[in-house]
Amino acid sequence: MRKIPGAFAPFYFFCYTQNASRQFFINKIKAMKEYEKDFPLFKTKIKGVTKKFNLSDPRERAEYFEAKAGTEIAKLKKYLLKNTFIVYLLGKKNSGKGTYSKLMKEVFGEDKFSHISVGDIVRGVHAGMENEAKRKELTDYLSKNYRGYISIDDAINALLNRDTKTLLPTEFILALVKMEIAKMPKKSLFIDGFPRQLDQFSYSLYFRDLIDFREDRDIFVALSVPKSVIDARMRTRVICPVCHTPRNLKLFATQKVGYNKKTKEFYLICDNPECGGAKMVGKEGDDLGIESIRERLELDDKLIEKAFSLHGIPKILLRNSVPIDVAKDYVDEYEITPEYSYKLQPDGSVKTLETPWIVKDDEGRDAYSLLAAPVALALIKQLANILVV
């Protein structure tokens, strides 16, 4: 070991301690950042609430929310009498953003919330371009409200000629969203699909000013859903070919299930009596699962990560899963997503079996996926903490 001259010993000691202190704080900051980016477990198991609710029944779902978040719901209802707010929903594709928006409408009323899906707006405008009156309405609106780096004609041509992966200019998208919002009475907004790119975050910070919601609180809500959950949702989802109602062979069964003797496969039968017992079918490409949207999922992860670096805007973190080893401390059993399997009976009928669905979370741990209601419950409680003093 090199011997340090006595005269320089204090200097070496000072450098050593400075470096050690610097490294300590670097590690501390790094640990804090990792903690900030971790979606915390939220306890929806409430002491004293012992009833087992059927969360697929709207009436029992209403009782569930009242029993577990009655105080917060009352506060938010009072707040919504005179105020509105904006939520930016950040989550992977098929993470349930639309479902949570619907549950908020269910709890607080259709007149209080609007779910603004940027993708739906763009598709709707695209479909309306064949109607001359709608095209003129759009052009007239854009002539007064659009500001961008390409002409209105070029922007519309980009819309008409785009494929699903082609991105439209952000300024054009904002004008379309503003036009849609202007058509409706003022409500609290759940924005789904914006920001869609990393460079759109700066626009989202001032989005409320662009749509004349200047006094509204705005909040980022980030959703954490394991990729294994999204994969299963895609691979086993089906729709009715008549009424287009979605269901899932593994996760959202219908009351009636059939069996194809030739293929030896079970299938769901639409519950809608007007569909005449239609066999529900899968969508083309869904059998590939998340492989078909992997690039999109990677971008969604980056968007959520970007949100953690923002200052001056509140953030709500919602997670869809809970590790099995701690689940009983945080959630009630009926809040866990069931997995459905089927057994052919001797008389040819099909028996539906239900068990808790075990998945691998993104850290590789065995976990339960949660139903939408407990995640919405966590959203309600956190919104109340932010909006109501």
* DSSP classification of residue 42: -
For residue 165, the model assigns a pLDDT of 57
pLDDT(31) > 70 = no
pLDDT at 257 over 90: yes
Average pLDDT rounded to a whole number, residues 2-21: 47
Q: What is the rounded average pLDDT of the residues 314-337?
A: 95
Q: Locate 241 and state its tokens.
A: 């070919």
Between residues 352 and 306, the one the model is more confident about: 352
Q: Is 191 helix (H, G, I), strand (E, B) or coil?
A: strand
Report which of residues 36 and 251 the model is more confident about.
Answer: 251
- Report pLDDT for 214: 65
Q: What is the pLDDT of residue 305?
A: 84
- Residue that wins the pLDDT comparison between 295 and 196: 295
Assigned domain for 327 exists = yes
Q: Are strands 315-319 and 358-360 parallel, antiparallel or unpaired?
A: unpaired
Whether the predicted pLDDT of 346 surpasses 90: yes
d(CA 379, CA 317): 8
Residue 35 lies in a domain: no
Per the domain annotation, does 280 fall within a domain?
no
Q: Name the token pair of 154.
A: 């070029």
Which pLDDT does position 20 carry in this prediction? 47
Q: In this predicted structure, what is the pLDDT of residue 388? A: 92
The answer to whether residue 321 sits within a structural domain is yes
pTM summary value: 0.81
Long-range contacts of 140-146 (CB under 8 A, 24+ apart): 141/175, 141/179, 142/175, 145/175, 145/178, 145/179, 146/171, 146/172, 146/175
The structural domain count of the chain equals: 1
Pick the more confident residue, 207 or 115.
Answer: 115
Q: Over 50: is that where the pLDDT of 2 sits?
A: no
Is position 171 within any domain? no
Write the CATH number for 381.
Answer: 3.40.50
What is the rounded distance in angstroms from the CA atom of residue 97 to the CA atom of residue 177? 18
User: With contact defined as beta carbons under 8 Å apart, do 186 and 84 qualify?
Assistant: yes
User: Is there a contact between 101 and 88 (Cβ–Cβ < 8 Å)?
Assistant: no
How distant, in Å, are the alpha carbons of 28, 125, 191, 288, 318 from that of 195?
Answer: 31, 19, 9, 27, 18
Q: Is the pLDDT of residue 21 over 50?
A: no
Give the mean model confidence (pLDDT) for residues 33-50. Answer: 78
Tell me which of 17 and 48 has the higher pLDDT.
48
Sheet of strand 321-323: strand arrangement: 321-323, 366-369, 358-360
Q: Does a structural domain hold residue 158? A: no
Determine the Cα–Cα distance for residues 126 and 137; give it in Å rounded to an integer.
Answer: 13
Instruction: Say how far apart CA 35 and CA 22 lie, in whole Å.
Output: 20
Question: What type of residue is 33?
Answer: K
- 10 pLDDT above the threshold of 50: no
Domain hosting residue 67, numbered range: 45-112+187-234+292-387
Q: How far apart are the first and last CA of the chain?
A: 62
DSSP 8-state symbol, 170 = H
Report the alpha-carbon angle 246-228-259, nearest 5: 45
Q: For residues 336-361, give the mean pLDDT.
A: 94
Task: Give domain status of residue 101, yes or no.
Answer: yes
Residue 52: its pLDDT value, please?
A: 96
Q: Is residue 130 part of a domain?
A: no
The percentage of residues in the chain with a pLDDT greater than 90, rounded to a whole number, is 48
List, for residues 158-213, the tens digit of each pLDDT value.
888 865 555 688 888 888 888 888 888 889 999 988 877 777 777 777 777 777 76
